[in-house]
Amino acid sequence: MTIETAKLNSVDEIQIVNNEHIPKKHYILSQVPSLHKDLGMVSSTLDKVAAELDQVVSHGVAEVKKQKKELSNRVVTMMGTCDGFIQECDIDTTS
């Protein structure tokens, strides 16, 4: 819900780079002060889940391998979505 609110509270800008018009959104993060923390926590949690999935041993069981691969792909997709939104919002998660 927080991310959707931030997406709705945005201002569009057109930047001109090398004579190209590049659309850019500026999110009004002051209206969603917890966004930085929330996205950092989601990113960290997804990293931990990915690490735990890597530790699962299938012992040659095909069904376990299949489930592990499916879950891993879903986690990677979620990580990409989260990282993309962090980048889109120009949020520095290193602090």
pLDDT at 20: 82
Classify residue 39: in a domain, yes or no: yes
State the CB neighbour count (10 A cutoff) for residue 82: 21
Contact 23, 11 (CB under 8 A): no
Classify residue 58: in a domain, yes or no: yes
Tell me the per-residue pLDDT of 10-23, one tens digit each, with 9 for 90 and over.
666 677 778 887 77
pLDDT higher than threshold 70 for residue 31: no
pLDDT higher than threshold 90 for residue 6: no
Classify residue 95: in a domain, yes or no: no
Q: What is the dihedral of CA 34, 94, 50, 89, to 10 degrees?
A: 50
Counted domains in the chain: 1
Classify residue 46: in a domain, yes or no: yes
Classify residue 93: in a domain, yes or no: no
- Residues with Cβ within 8 Å of residue 56, at least 6 apart in sequence: 64, 68
* pTM reported for the whole predicted model: 0.67
Burial class (CB in 10 A: 0-12, 13-18, 19+), 15: exposed
Classify residue 81: in a domain, yes or no: yes
| Structural domain of 9 | 2-88
